[in-house]
Chains A and B, each alone.
Chain A
Amino acid sequence: MAAVSMTVNGKAVTGDIEPRTLLVQFLRENLRLTGTHVGCDTSQCGACVVHMDGRAIKACTILALQCERAQVTTIEGLANGAELHPMQAAFREHHGLQCGFCTPGMIMTAVDIVNRKGNSLDEHTIRNELEGNLCRCTGYHNIVKAIAAGAQAMGHGLVAQAAE
């Protein structure tokens, strides 16, 4: 067993884990943060995407021990209390989800796309950037719409903050 400590959704957490424990297992089983999902064994589906030190990673492809002292954000940590993050709100508004299983990974990826590519995203960019996320329900049509709208809304949030 090995000790690990990191910050998850703003809270300091520690664990005594088997060295082979993946980050996604640590989140789901030790911390009971079950919003991060596992949909495959080969890092292809993206249902497990979280942010580590501000960048999207697949939590199934990294050992928890590699996240020592890291800042991890999961889908549970994205909203500001009861107020949805603009990307979460956009997925709801544009029907960007059906069964909801891929949704946490999609939203975490979408926020990362905006962080890297800005608030005005064209359809081709969004589709291209979603190469690491699978959805079987939506045909991606409404996910693409949701991400474009969510990206815009995140920009408005920044403008609003700057004006304050």
Chain B
Amino acid sequence: MTATGIGASVRRKEDQRFVTGRGHYVDDLTRPGQAYAYFLRSPHAHAVIRAIDTGAARAKPGVLAVLTGEELAADKVGGLICGWMIHSKDGTPMKAGPHPALAQGKVRYVGDHVALVVAESLAEAKDAAEAIQVDYEVLPAVVDAGATQTSGVQIHEVAPDNTVFRWHLGDKSAVDQAFANAKHVTKLDITNNRLVPNAIEPRAAIGEYDPGSDSFTLYTTSQNPHVARLVLSAFIGIAPEHKLRVIAPDVGGGFGSKIFIYAEETVCLWAAKKVGRPVKWTCDRMEAFLCDAHGRDHVTHAEMALGEDGRILALRVSTIANLGAYLSTFASSVPTYLYAPLLSGQYDIPAIYCEVDGVYTNTAPVDAYRGAGRPEATFVVERLVEVAARETGMDPAKFRKRNYIKKFPHQTPVIMTYDAGDYHASLAKALELADYNGFSRRKRESARNGKLRGIGFSSYIEACGIAPSAAVGSLGAGVGLWESAEVRVNPTGSIEILTGSHAHGQGHETTFAQLVSDRLGVSIDTVSVVHGDTDKVQFGMGTYGSRSGAVGMSAIYKAIDKVIAKGKKVAAYVMEASEGDIEFKDGKFSVAGTDKSVGFGDIALQAYIAHKFSGQELEPGLKEGAFYDPTNFTFPAGVHICELELDPDTGIVAIAKWTAVDDFGVLINPMIVEGQVHGGVAQGVGQALHEGAVYDQSGQLVTASYMDYQMPRAIDLPSLTVGMTVTPCPSNPLGVKGCGEAGAIAAPAAVINAITDALGHEDIAMPATPQAVWRAAQKARMPIAAE
């Protein structure tokens, strides 16, 4: 390991600009002649638009244009798409209703896009929006996943019972048989609460049109600018792909919410040509609450069948997934293929059957949010396991051990082949770091102070680096999920890495440079990472699903292989040796068995000046590209243990200790990896204790600001104990698994298992706010130990 190579906690290169306020986020950019966009949004959850009168708004000062869905349709701008096809049990394709970027005839959730005002200033655009007259015929609305199919409300013509698909996975008859033979059955009804992603940077877009070249540029807060360009070109039809440049500069957090192709960027591009000026839109926080794709929102009934000896025989899960009012870009994949295939958890379960109904409601679209399907699966499995252990009188750690998968590769009954792991090792380390043996003493001590102490486990698994492309294609994905990279070595030996991955907090400028430093023996200071611009990077699939290490870096790895191979050819000419005798190590090309060697930088120069070889024998230059398609998903897994104390008199929960032991395979930069765990846990604790998007029955979002939706703050969280175990991933050259989502996947079950352990009963839902915990504590008030 070099000081800046793989495995070193290198301080981040990107931080210099961020700590000095010199980053360039989309809203920091000002384009010449820029005008400002403001969207008039629906105040109703469900209504027919009888008429829109924009006359008064157009006459307001500073107004350049007021545009509606009628004009959008007249210009033949296509609707937004969902790029993952799901087929129902009966073989019929999912029922996707139209999703125009500006409402056409109907609005379907509060915040739906009704009209766009473009003006000289944002204030003028907002003032003019107030003058737009919309004649609405308000319709009944439905917001709850569990109620929508029988509500009688019809949101889309194509789906009369608001059901997008009735999907299933697994062997139903094998599961039914296992349940018939079960010694014990554990049953749970679970609600996985709806969350709002809330990256602190709100979304933003600047659309720009150049009549000279008849081409568009979009500056946008995107996790995957190439996918945005593809969708905006091929499906929405804004411009041909080669006439549209998408730039995603510094992006202030995503967590999934910036994967999707939304109405706003579509409309800004279209409007830029119509008004002949760059059009800038910046989301305010209330708009973000209303319109960023939300996460989770499942209602589930789950059952686990146990045998004589506490072994899990089978799992039966039935889920209704709220997809909101329209299908967002990857909405259909989240509660299906990103969910049910993870229901085996870390356990050897012979039979699993899961059915999922995806449903429309009059709420914001729901799509991938940090973990995307996998947190929901882990919550189901880990709640069931914990309750099953309690019901059968077994220690929850021992119950898990008994059922852990021990041999790899392991084929689950729900698609996945786990390639590597050591679940016992993670648990053993977590038990030690958490001082599990001392828990009962600490519990007694809490009881003496009138507090209830609980401990909860979460043995999570996730599937990352979603690929290979042929496999995801067979499951319904509309795209391939490989990644691309190009390694450009300059004549002076400095290096540019062009990657299709995109960083919005992950630190790729550092970790990707570490890979180059490690492999080519150069300083990370001579390496630049170029990303987020479709004119610079040819194509890429972007960053989500913890894929940038396993897939993105593997593409770079492959391109570096080619650079080294080409360098050997150049070195052979330079040192007048046979190519087969050239070795590359520690930044030097040398002739085997001699003391002859030339540094990497000198070979780069020789490759470009091309004085030592003929251009007919060897092409000059040193630049190589690669597309990398993995052989399998990766399977990060680990154990998180939450120990907490709750006050039965106030319902306040204080996390006393958080222990995380994760197996992410090989670590590139442990400092950054631990940071990802910290952030993930905070979001998972947020889901368990604080966060929940609430719609009232009329469809108004009553949690539409930071004053109503409780984001975890510093005082709500403890410092975390983070440990690692390592089983290298055999499915990519680096042995990495991915770390971005683990914390958010593991944490909710650990918290709720700890709270229910403290309470002594299972009746608590997320978010376990002080009010909810207080009620639960009163319901079964435990005698405080009279010691």
A121 on interface, CB distance cutoff 8 Å: no
Shortest distance between the CB of A18 and any CB in chain B (Å): 7
Q: Chain A 15-59, CB within 8 Å of chain B: the 1/0 string?
A: 000101000000011001111111111101101000000000000
Which secondary structure characterizes the binding site on chain A?
A: loop
Residue of B255, B671, B672 touching A136 (CB-CB under 8 A): B255
With A130-B713, A138-B679: A41-B253 Cβ-Cβ less than 8 Å? no
> Smallest CB–CB gap between A61 and chain B, Å?
13
Q: Does B683 sit at the interface, judged by CB under 8 A?
A: yes
Residues of A within 8 A of B680 (CB): 139
Do A35 and B22 touch (CB < 8 A)?
A: yes
Of A63-71, A72-80, A154-162, which binds chain B?
A: A72-80
The listed residue (B15, B28, B705) touching A40 by CB distance below 8 A is B705
Given the complex, which residues of A lie within 8 Å of B623, measured CB to CB?
Answer: none
Known pairs A41-B284, A139-B717; A99 contacts B21 (CB<8 A): no
Q: Is the CB of A44 within 8 A of B706?
A: yes
Convert B1-29 into 0s and 1s, putting 1 for each residue whose CB lies closer than 8 angstroms to a CB of A. 00000000001101111111111110110
Whether the Cβ atoms of A88 and B19 lie closer than 8 Å is yes
Q: Would you call A95 an interface residue if the criterion is a C-beta within 8 Å of the partner chain's C-beta atoms?
A: yes
Is A118 engaged at the interface, CB distance under 8 Å to the other chain?
no
A37 to B743, CA, bound (A): 27
Q: B201 to A126, Cβ gap below 8 A?
A: no
What is the chain A residue whose CB lies nearest that of B199? A136
Q: State the CA gap A79–B19 with chains docked (Å).
A: 9
Q: Would B199 and A99 count as touching, CB distance under 8 A?
A: yes
Q: Across the interface, do A101 and B200 meet the contact criterion of CB distance under 8 Å?
A: yes
Closest-CB distance, A132 to chain B (whole angstroms): 9
Cβ contacts under 8 Å, B123 to chain A: 18, 20
User: Interface size of A by Cβ–Cβ distance < 8 Å?
Assistant: 57
> What is the CB-to-nearest-CB distance from B513 to chain A, in angstroms, rounded to a whole number?
16
Q: Could you tell me if A47 and B200 are in contact, using CB atoms closer than 8 angstroms?
A: yes
* Residue from A33, A76, A97 whose CB has the most chain B CB atoms within 10 Å: A97
Residues of B within 8 A of A101 (CB): 23, 25, 199-201, 252-253
Q: Is the CB–CB distance between B714 and A131 below 8 Å? A: yes
> B678 near A: Cβ within 8 Å?
yes
Contacts of B719 in A (CB 8 A): 123, 141, 144
- Interface range on chain B: under 10, 10 to 19, 20 to 34, or 35 or more? 35 or more
Please tell me if A137 contacts chain B, counting CB pairs below 8 Å.
Answer: yes
Interface stretch of the complex, out of B160-168, B399-407, B500-508, B580-588: B500-508
Are B21 and A74 interface neighbours, CB within 8 A? yes
Say whether, besides A18-B123, A35-B22, A97-B18, A137 and B679 are in contact (CB < 8 Å): yes
Q: Is B291 an interface residue (CB 8 A)?
A: no
Contacts of A127 in B (CB 8 A): 714-715, 717
A107 within 8 A of partner (CB): yes
Task: Using known A-B contacts A101-B252, A128-B715, determine if residue A37 contacts B19 with beta carbons closer than 8 Å.
Answer: no
Does any Cβ of A come within 8 Å of B329's Cβ?
no
With A98-B253, A99-B504 in contact, is A134–B713 under 8 Å at CB? yes
B678 engages A134 (CB within 8 Å): no
Q: Known contacts A99-B251, A99-B504, A143-B714; decide if A138 and B678 are in contact (CB<8 Å).
A: yes
Give 25 pairs: A residue, B residue, CB < 8 Å, sorted on A: A18-B123, A29-B30, A32-B30, A33-B21, A36-B21, A37-B25, A38-B202, A40-B285, A42-B705, A45-B285, A76-B20, A91-B19, A92-B16, A93-B11, A95-B11, A98-B507, A98-B675, A99-B200, A101-B199, A102-B252, A123-B719, A130-B713, A139-B680, A140-B717, A141-B717
**Given A84-B20, A101-B201, 20 additional A-B pairs, CB 8 A:** A36-B21, A37-B27, A40-B284, A41-B285, A44-B707, A45-B200, A47-B200, A88-B20, A91-B19, A97-B19, A98-B679, A100-B15, A101-B199, A130-B714, A133-B714, A134-B200, A134-B706, A136-B198, A141-B675, A141-B720
Interface residues of B (CB under 8 A from A): 11-12, 14-25, 27-28, 30, 123, 198-202, 250-253, 255, 282, 284-286, 504-507, 671-672, 674-675, 678-683, 705-707, 711-715, 717, 719-720, 743
4 A-B pairs with least C-beta separation: A35-B21, A101-B252, A100-B18, A139-B682
